[in-house]
Structure 1
């Protein structure tokens, strides 16, 4: 049986890199994407191709290149994403649009680009890497939560629309993992005189500590591997610490205001 061909958007670092390395070790043909492959001239973990998820032509060319080289495309791991923090009132509109262009439109357009290939094969799998943050509106991360929550919902619809084509689509929501996402995240500036200054500074420190103390992203890679080897993937998967996963159970069973109070207490707001 031929090795499955996997495309991982945002594969040059962090979770995407871990997924790619692990899948390659398991015998998959792996292509990762990056906007700037010239920065990774010494990258030897798996093949990197140029792709910007904000650019439709870039996506088309990358998918076409892989299909021409391999003759098929079996798995898309939609992983490329950016973080954003800040008081919603003080976050510039262009930054909000920018993160939606990457985290939502980028995912959607990459999925749309591979669907004709997978439909023709009558086989394929799309795994959208979302976030546990997408299940709740987190203070000072509300825009990020919104982008990931939007992907979770559109995946539910897309699964039903493509059910007759042999294509499976699922979400995988990680909690906090030790990656370099903070370095590429847009931070709304902490403004002197802002009514949000003290609370935002405090929350920002807590967010960064959570990433620094996060788990090894190889756990996400193991989960991706498990999903690939599942005949009928579920709609939603989560991977993270016990408390992060348990927080989603609490959100389902607790009254909204009680859950809100738990979040406020957690962030000391």
Structure 2
């Protein structure tokens, strides 16, 4: 399966977890990929993972893989991402995956403004800035795919009494930022409808215990509240190749797999043992 042969992709937050998984799957299916994150070298982040390690894994697929360090919380740093990616890829970006996120969990009563600004800078402003930066190339090509990674924390808990999932209200600022991203996705998808540019979000149906998520909630979550990395990646890459009439949508990984009859593949694009449509 080589759906992305000849396409150029940019994936943020690609040093570990879901972002690294999506980048690998895109490369396995033929895409040239620019990996973006803050962590370049191994053993330089407490959660592990690095751009260098992701690039080494992707090298076996034979496509162009480049790394680009950037701080998405910094406007000047992120303004350089797309122009540099175009240079590295030798052409405009066809597929943009906004995966990087800032997740700072803290009760709202004492949640400081500095942290709130950081969360919204990375989770809302950076994805929109990058989307705006890739649009000229996508418009010229008459096609493009922008996929934003959202979260189930956007959903409101019923109550009172409130049925909160751990860590409860400490997730509210993060969830609010992802809700804003969902709304921007819908608006941008509607605005660009008819141009050939698709804009969608995908969120996990359950927790994906990437390195960061495991650190934040791993001890409080039940096995039935978890989905595999491969399932999340399957839903995300489906939107990286979706038809033109799928745009402005807020989707859920496992629902996409079910409704579109998808077979779950490994990160190397081979069907997983026992996986069915």
Q: Does 1:239 align with 2:253?
A: yes
**TM-score, L = length of structure 1:** 0.74
**TM-score, L = length of structure 2:** 0.72
Q: Is the Cα contact below 8 Å between 2:93 and 2:137 reproduced in 1?
A: yes
Q: Does 1:86 align with 2:106?
A: yes
Question: How far has the Cα of 1:238 moved from its partner?
Answer: 0.2
Task: Kindly provide the CA deviation profile for residues 121-155 of structure 1, in whole angstroms up to 9, marking residues without a partner as x.
Answer: 22111001011211326522111110000000111
1:53 corresponds to which residue? 72
* Alignment gaps of 5+ in structure 1: 186-203, 242-269
Tell me which of 217, 236, 242 is aligned to 2:229: 217
> CA–CA distance in 2 between the matches of 1:205 and 1:226?
27
> CA–CA distance in 2 between the matches of 1:114 and 1:55?
18
Tell me which of 61, 65, 77 is aligned to 2:97: 77
Alignment of 1:32-43 (within 5 A): 32-39=35-42, 40=50, 41-43=52-54
More off after superposition, 115-124 vs 31-40: 31-40
> 1:55 and 1:229, CA in 2 relative to 1: closer, same or farther beyond 3 A?
same
Q: Is the Cα contact below 8 Å between 1:6 and 1:75 reproduced in 2?
A: yes
Bigger helix share: 1
Q: Does 1:129 align with 2:149?
A: yes
Q: Is the Cα contact below 8 Å between 1:170 and 1:236 reproduced in 2?
A: yes
Higher alpha-carbon Rg: 1
* Alignment gaps of 5+ in structure 2: 43-49, 59-65, 158-167, 256-277
1:30 corresponds to which residue? 33
Alignment of 1:79-228 (within 5 A): 79-136=99-156, 139-174=169-204, 175-182=206-213, 208-209=220-221, 214-228=226-240
> 1:56 and 1:117, CA in 2 relative to 1: closer, same or farther beyond 3 A?
farther
Task: Kindly provide the CA deviation profile for residues 138-186 of structure 1, in whole angstroms up to 9, marking residues without a partner as x.
Answer: 522111110000000111111122224321101111231011224776x
